[in-house]
């Protein structure tokens, strides 16, 4: 991870001091150093709201202010920051406040009257650490997202689907509402790859994923299970097995119809369909692998019968 000088100079900085002259001095020094995004306030009570809305990379905080001193401001900032980290550089005329300031959450400290070069160096170093931390956190979140989503379609992958399936089972056990797995497989997908190539195959997978998403309800999980297989997890269906089956049939038929419409691949029209297998369940008694196997087997039954695009596995349906 690398930071450029522009990254440092474009950081968001808040200056907090009740004395206008001190505020103007810091603004002048920072502007001369090239810093571009400066915000100021003489009201210590406004600091938390400003930080909450603007997420400053550095707060230059005077410790001695009337009404609410810098120590009280830092205590409030700890509540604002989710991890209790407040990017505060404490400034005061009392060097004896240094240890208390650091113990209160300040990441660095400088006494007035300060050496200008020392101040600039401390500001630069604090910003570098803060921005690198932010960059690392962003990278970690990106890696986590990549680990749980399919790179081609951006849909949840098998790992994330299994996690949501387990949560759906636990929720179903509490609420007694049914859930369903729809296992889908693109018909004749290998033939498409062999004739038009893998670029066309990837384009079809992306278009299929968008059509499935367009038919799913808000809160449903649409996942790419692998290859040309997709799985949809439907939650919060009726507590009645019969009514739940009817709800699933409406959604599955809608998806099957949408997925049979002509596709445009690399400037050519292409017709295909998806076979859909359905397994309805309630509670958490069945193993996830068993539920997926039932939906998969139902899908193969649908594929074997050209007159059916959707096939239900009835073994897990309650008629209550």
186 neighbors 272 (Cβ within 8 angstroms) = yes
Query: In whole angstroms, what is the distance from residue 11 CA to residue 131 CA?
Result: 8
What's the confidence (pLDDT) of residue 84? 53
pTM higher than 0.85:
no
Return the CATH number of the domain spanning residue range 5-146.
Answer: 3.40.50.2300
What's the confidence (pLDDT) of residue 316? 54
In sequence order, what are the residues at sequence separation of 6 or more whose Cβ sits closer than 8 angstroms to the Cβ of residue 197?
none
Whole-Å CA distances, 30 to 17, 27, 109, 117, 128 = 15, 5, 17, 11, 15
Q: How many CB atoms lie within 10 A of CB 248?
A: 25
Query: In whole angstroms, what is the distance from residue 202 CA to residue 308 CA?
Result: 26
The per-residue pLDDT for range 25-46, each reduced to its tens digit, is: 999 999 999 999 999 999 999 9
pLDDT band at 276 (very low <50, low <70, confident <90, very high): very high
The answer on pLDDT for 21 being more than 90 is yes
The answer on pLDDT for 92 being more than 90 is no
Chain-centroid distance of CA 133 in Å reads: 18
Domain positions in the chain are 5-146, 158-316
Q: Which residues are catalytic?
A: 228
The answer on pLDDT for 317 being more than 80 is no
Domains 5-146 and 158-316 share a fold: no
CATH topology of domain 158-316: Alpha-Beta Plaits (3.30.70)
The answer on pLDDT for 245 being more than 80 is yes
E strands present in the chain = 12-16, 37-41, 58-62, 88-92, 108-111, 179-186, 221-226, 229-234, 263-265, 268-270, 274-281, 310-313
Query: In whole angstroms, what is the distance from residue 203 CA to residue 72 CA?
Result: 57
């Amino acid at each position: 991870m690398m930071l450029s000088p522009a990254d440092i100079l474009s950081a968001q900085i808040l200056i907090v001091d009740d004395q206008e002259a001190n505020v103007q001095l810091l603004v002048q020094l920072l502007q001369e150093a090239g810093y571009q995004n400066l915000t100021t306030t003489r009201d210590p009570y406004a600091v938390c709201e400003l930080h909450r809305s603007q997420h400053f990379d550095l707060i230059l905080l005077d410790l001695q202010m009337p009404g609410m001193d810098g120590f009280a401001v830092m205590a409030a900032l700890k509540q604002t920051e989710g991890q209790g980290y407040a990017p505060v550089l404490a400034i005061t005329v009392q060097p004896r406040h240094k240890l208390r300031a650091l113990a209160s959450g300040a990441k660095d400290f400088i006494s007035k009257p300060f050496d200008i070069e020392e101040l600039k160096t401390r500001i630069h170093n604090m910003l570098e650490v803060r921005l690198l931390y932010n960059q690392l956190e962003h990278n970690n979140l990106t890696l986590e997202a990549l680990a749980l989503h399919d790179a081609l379609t951006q849909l949840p992958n098998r790992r994330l689907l299994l996690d949501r399936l387990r949560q759906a089972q636990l929720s179903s056990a509490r609420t007694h509402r049914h859930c369903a797995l729809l296992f889908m497989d693109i018909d004749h997908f290998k033939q498409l790859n062999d004739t038009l190539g893998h670029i066309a195959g990837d384009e079809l997978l992306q278009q299929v994923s968008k059509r499935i998403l367009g038919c799913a309800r808000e809160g449903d999980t649409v996942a790419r299970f692998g290859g040309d297989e997709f799985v949809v997890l439907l939650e919060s269906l009726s507590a009645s097995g019969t009514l739940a089956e009817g709800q699933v049939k409406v959604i599955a038929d809608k998806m099957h119809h949408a997925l049979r419409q002509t596709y445009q691949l690399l400037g050519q029209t292409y017709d295909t369909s998806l076979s859909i297998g359905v397994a309805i369940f309630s509670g958490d008694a069945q193993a996830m692998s068993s539920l997926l196997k039932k939906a998969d087997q139902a899908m193969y039954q649908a594929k074997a019968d050209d007159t059916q695009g959707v096939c239900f596995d009835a073994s897990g349906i309650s008629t209550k």
